[in-house]
C-alpha cells in the first residue's frame, strides 16, 4: 500500500511538472509582456522632471496625442531616450502639405514646422508602427520614418 502511495505521489508530481511546463510557463511568459511601470527623467525647460513610464504597451493600445519615450543611440541623446507625441497609429494617413503635417487630412498641432519639406505622402502608417513627432524633428518620425514597436520604450503618463 505504501508503495502504491509513493508511486501515486511521484506520478502526480510528474504530471504537475508537465502541466506547469506546458501551460503555466507560456502564460507566465505572456504575462511578462503586460505593461509594467517604472520612472523616467524627461528634460524639462530648465531641469529634468520625473514621469511614470508605462512599458510594454502594445502599439494597438496607443492613440494620437499620447506621449511616448523611444530609443536613441547614445550619440543622439545622453541617456538614449527620445520623447515625442504619437501623431498617427497603424492605418492612419500621414502627409506633408504646405509645410504642415497632416494626419488623416487634418493638421497635427503638436508637430513643429516643416517649411523645408516639399509636399510628400500620403503614407499609410504600417502595421506595428507609430508616427511620432516632436517640435524639432531631429530624431522623430519625420527624421527616421514610422517607428516600429521595438523602438518604443513605453508610454509616458501625465506628460504635458
Partner 1 sequence: MIDRIGTRNLGFAQLLLAAILLIIGITLAMSSWNRWTGISDIGTARSRLMEGNAEAAKSRASSAARALPNEPAAVLLDIDIAKDPDYARLETLERKTKGEQQQLVRTAEALSLIARKHEGAPEIAGADGVLLKALTELIKGSPPASIVLPKDSAPHYSVLVMTYVAQLQAALRVQDPVLVREAAGVLALLMPSHPEGRALEFVAGALDPACDLPRLQGLAQQVTDKKKLQAIAHSLAGMARERAAQLDAVVLGINPSSSPEKLLELQVQAAAAQDSGVDIAGLARRCFDAGRMDLAKLLLPKMPPTALGPMRSAILNQEGDVAELAKAGMTDATLAPRASKARCRKGLIAFQLSNDLGMVPKSAIIVKLNGVDVAADKITRNASLIAIDTALTGSVSIEVRAGNRIVYSDALTL
Does residue 43 interact with partner 1 by CB under 8 A? no
Does residue 153 interact with partner 1 by CB under 8 A? no
Q: Which of 56, 64, 77, 117 binds partner 1 (CB under 8 A)?
A: 117
Using the rule CB under 8 A, give the single segment among 10-18, 38-46, 48-56, 152-160 that binds partner 1: 10-18
131: β partners:
88
Does residue 17 interact with partner 1 by CB under 8 A? yes
Cα–Cα nearest to 84, from 101, 69, 71, 73 = 69
Place of cell 499620447: 66
Tell me the HSE value of 74 on the side-chain side, using a 13 A CA sphere: 0
d(C-alpha 56, C-alpha 143), whole Å: 24
Does residue 151 interact with partner 1 by CB under 8 A? yes
d(C-alpha 57, C-alpha 153), whole Å: 9
d(C-alpha 141, C-alpha 81), whole Å: 14
Task: Give the nearest distance from C-beta 158 to partner 1 in angstroms.
Answer: 28
Task: Give the nearest distance from C-beta 21 to partner 1 in angstroms.
Answer: 5
Q: Work out the number of other CB atoms within 10 angstroms of the CB of residue 146.
A: 22
Does residue 58 interact with partner 1 by CB under 8 A? no
Which residues lie near partner 1 (CB under 8 A)? 2-3, 6-7, 10, 13-14, 17-18, 21, 25, 29, 71, 73, 90-91, 94-96, 98, 115-129, 142-146, 148, 150-151
Amino acid at each position: 500500500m505504501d508503495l502504491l502511495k509513493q508511486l501515486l505521489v511521484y506520478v502526480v508530481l510528474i504530471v504537475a511538472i508537465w502541466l506547469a511546463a506546458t501551460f503555466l510557463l507560456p502564460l507566465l511568459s505572456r504575462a511578462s509582456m503586460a505593461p509594467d511601470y517604472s520612472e523616467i527623467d524627461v528634460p524639462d525647460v530648465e531641469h529634468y522632471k520625473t514621469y511614470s513610464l508605462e512599458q510594454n504597451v502594445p502599439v494597438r493600445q496607443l492613440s494620437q496625442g499620447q506621449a511616448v519615450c523611444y530609443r536613441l543611440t547614445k550619440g543622439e541623446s545622453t541617456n538614449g531616450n527620445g520623447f515625442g507625441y504619437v501623431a498617427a497609429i497603424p492605418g492612419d494617413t500621414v502627409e506633408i502639405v504646405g509645410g504642415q503635417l497632416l494626419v488623416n487630412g487634418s493638421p497635427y498641432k503638436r508637430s513643429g514646422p516643416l517649411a523645408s519639406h516639399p509636399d510628400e505622402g500620403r503614407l499609410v502608417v504600417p502595421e506595428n508602427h507609430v508616427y511620432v513627432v516632436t517640435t524639432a524633428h531631429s530624431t522623430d518620425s519625420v527624421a527616421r520614418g514610422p517607428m516600429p514597436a521595438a523602438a518604443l520604450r513605453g508610454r509616458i503618463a501625465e506628460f504635458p
